[in-house]
Amino acid sequence: MVGGNQAGKEGNVIASNVKLDDGVVIHHPDLVNLYGCSIGRGSRIGTFVEIQKNASIAENCKISSHTFICEGVTIEDGVFVGHGVMFTNDLHPRAVNLDGTLQSDVDWSVIPTLVKRYASIGSNATIVAGITIGEGAQIGAGAVVTKDVPAYAIVAGVPAKIIGRAKDAPVEVISSGRGR
């Protein structure tokens, strides 16, 4: 377990520029790749997770094994991320420029993604860059999310479509029709 802004044991793959708040649990610090990110108090990180620079995980989140959270992703409080979830941050990825030279940081821009509090993302979902997943929304396993997801909506499929609303949606959300 690691916490309190520590980078863990010598030789692991938690970079010194990672901000870990108190109570962060990383079950196998030698089996993650974390650099330049911040992880909030009480969050738990599974094995084989990569979290890149400028990604932010808030408090009391669970990030399950084999998940990739790239630069530009912000995850708010209390979010569940299942096993093998993949985030993207570029809508038109390329290895090289038109002249054949390798692309570098100056050749593309990060497209931010936001996951609002209490959302739940099922295993093997893919979250395409530039979307917002609303508060309390639920993403089905294997879904490919290409558009914003309303608060308390349940989405599934490829591409993901709204199939219902979360049972725990507040009454004002249900009566307004949001999340449907």
Query: Residue 174: which H helix or E strand, with range?
Result: helix 171-176
- What pLDDT was estimated at residue 172? 61
Q: In degrees, to the nearest 5, what angle opens at C-alpha 58 toward C-alphas 52 and 61?
A: 95
- Exposed / middle / buried, residue 95 (Cβ in 10 Å: 0-12, 13-18, 19+): exposed
> pLDDT band at 4, cuts 50/70/90?
very low
- What pLDDT was estimated at residue 31? 95
Read off the pLDDT of residues 73-131 as tens digits, 9 standing for 90 and up.
999 999 999 999 999 999 999 999 999 999 998 998 999 999 999 999 999 999 999 99
* Residue 137 structure tokens: 């929304």
* Residue 34 structure tokens: 């974390």
Q: What is the mean pLDDT of residues 53-64?
A: 98
Task: Write the CA distances from 47 to 28, 70, 106, 127, 174, integer angstroms.
Answer: 6, 16, 32, 20, 37
> pLDDT band at 13, cuts 50/70/90?
confident
Domains of the chain by start residue, with CATH: 19-90+103-176 (2.160.10.10)
> pLDDT band at 176, cuts 50/70/90?
low
- What pLDDT was estimated at residue 47? 96
Please state the pTM of the whole predicted model: 0.88
pLDDT over 50 (residue 55):
yes
- What pLDDT was estimated at residue 61? 98
* Cis before 29? omega within 30: no
